[in-house]
Amino acid sequence: MNPSPRIAVVGATGAVGEALLEILGQRGFPFSDLVPLASARSAGGQVRCRGRDWTVRELDGFDFAGIDIAFFSAGGAVSALHAPRAAAAGAVVIDNTSHFRNEPDVPLVVAEVNPGDLAGRPRGIVANPNCSTMQMMVALAPLHRAVGIERINVASYQSVSGAGRAAMEELGRQTARLLNFQDAAPERFPVQIAFNLIPQIDEFTDNGYTREEMKMVWETRKILGDPAIGVNPTCVRVPVFYGHALACHVETREAITPGQARALLAAAPGVVVVDEPRPGGWPTPVTHAAGTDPVYVGRLRADPSHPRGLALWIVADNIRKGAALNAVQLAEILVKDVA
């Protein structure tokens, strides 16, 4: 790996691509050249990174020869078509879509949890986890390493930015219309999202769970390397622009007190504990997560219904940590390993 790599950003004009470019600049990632890539519709436009404008080029037909790292954030179909040819040209692909996550020869990596898995990438592709799984793993991995986790019951409250820019625009339009006593017909969502909760994210599978929920099952086991962990998720879309929240109830293999868990999490990389029994002594998407990098944990308490149960509340910005930041962190690890 070149210590000053040439990088490509596929999906540079999307929400995750824009966040990725911002984070590359903020963290001073040492690239020598940047190639923003997007569809023909966006080609020729400009994106900004590291204090200058970069011209967006068309992805179709782009030759990845000479690119060291290629970030993909343009949807699973785009990754399926173009990520293998980027890897074949010699680039390390860091893919933000779900397309490769379950492939056994593609590592699924959270920077703070399993960075060693980056070494085994026979196809030249590394997968970023689902945004909800990502923040849950940053918070739960320290507990799993300390006492083992037997089972996870989790309800996610996921912001509309996880469904893309069009979903955010729909929430904005519906909110404005309803506040002006006008009808707000659903567009992208099956029902009104403004002032509402939708207990379905992605399509249903044969077992009655949605694909978003099953991602949390499969990905948790793969990242922690423990296929015995039970995961029971419910994923809900909420009328929040940025930041996912998880109400997480875990059953550990060895007993742990809330105080012990709090100390472990306070020392864990990427975690900020906000846990005081007072009004406002807990994290929320708006007051803590939106636009920031950490995974915030609060409401730590013993589960009165289980002798080894622990409850906690986990909040993070789904676009930054849930996608863009982790991708950049993985690239930083790749560059550091050869520095």
Do 175 and 115 share a structural domain? no
> pLDDT at residue 169 above 90?
yes
Backbone torsion region of residue 28, taken as left when φ is above 0, otherwise alpha when ψ lies between -120 and 50, otherwise beta? left
Do 171 and 105 share a structural domain? no
Determine whether 306 is an active site residue. no
Give the pLDDT confidence of 79-137 residue by residue, as tens digits.
999 999 999 999 999 999 999 999 999 999 999 999 999 998 999 999 999 999 999 99
Q: What is the mean pLDDT of residues 54-73?
A: 95
E-state strands within 197-263: 230-237, 244-252
**Residue 1 in domain:** no
Total of domains in the chain: 2
Q: Which residue has the tokens 């040439």?
A: 6
Do 197 and 97 share a structural domain? no
1 vs 184 pLDDT, higher one: 184
Helix 131-147 / helix 211-224 crossing angle, nearest 10 deg: 40
> pLDDT at residue 146 above 50?
yes
Output the pTM of the full model. 0.93
Give the pLDDT confidence of 244-274 residue by residue, as tens digits.
999 999 999 999 999 999 999 999 999 999 9
**Residue 230 in domain:** yes
CATH code (residue 279): 3.30.360.10
CATH code (residue 105): 3.40.50.720
**Residue 313 in domain:** yes
Do 296 and 209 share a structural domain? yes
Do 236 and 112 share a structural domain? no
Do 281 and 153 share a structural domain? yes
Domain that holds residue 147: 133-318
Do 143 and 215 share a structural domain? yes
Do 228 and 165 share a structural domain? yes
Do 161 and 98 share a structural domain? no
At 133, list the tokens.
């799984």
Give the pLDDT confidence of 275-298 residue by residue, as tens digits.
999 999 999 999 999 999 999 999
Do 74 and 46 share a structural domain? yes
> pLDDT at residue 338 above 60?
no
Do 124 and 36 share a structural domain? yes
Question: What is the band of 1 on the pLDDT scale with cuts at 50, 70, 90?
Answer: low
Catalytic residue among 49, 131, 235, 248: 131
Average pLDDT value for the chain? 95
Determine whether 248 is an active site residue. no
Do 276 and 153 share a structural domain? yes
At 116, list the tokens.
């060693």
State the CB neighbour count (10 A cutoff) for residue 310: 24
Catalytic residue among 99, 244, 249, 288: 244
Q: Which residues contact 180 (CB under 8 A, 6 or more apart)?
A: none
